[in-house]
Amino acid sequence: MNLLDNLGIEVSDQGKTRVVLKMKIEDKHMQPHKIMHGGISAVLAETAASMGANLNIDEDGYVAVGVDIMTHHLNPVKEGVLVTEATPVRVGNSIQTWTVTTHLEGHAISTSLSTVTLKKVALKTV
């Protein structure tokens, strides 16, 4: 099981200029005070940014991996369905930066700036 499956994150839309994720808040997303753990916002942001960045890679054997994320928590969340939208600020040859906003019923609950780098990976043969 991967992180998206484990947290219940669904891909609503994905392309080179926009990625949208959705996630219904569940007990497993909560901190002890019964509000959503702030790390969930960061996970959604980096996931959306990385997905978009990977769609912008033209060269085989490279993947986008996060190097920096800054997340601002704007409002606490207790229940509902989150919608996360990522759009690129800059798509370069080795670094990409994406801005990400997570909403609950039209109100922003967090905003993030995520930077990813492109890394060459060895492709495993089976």
Give the residue numbers annotated as catalytic, written as ranges.
46
> 3-state SS string over the chain?
CCHHHHHCEEEEEECCCCEEEEEECCHHHECCCCCECHHHHHHHHHHHHHHHHHHCCCCCCEEEEEEEEEEEECCCCCCCEEEEEEEEEEECCCEEEEEEEEEECCEEEEEEEEEEEEEECCCCCC
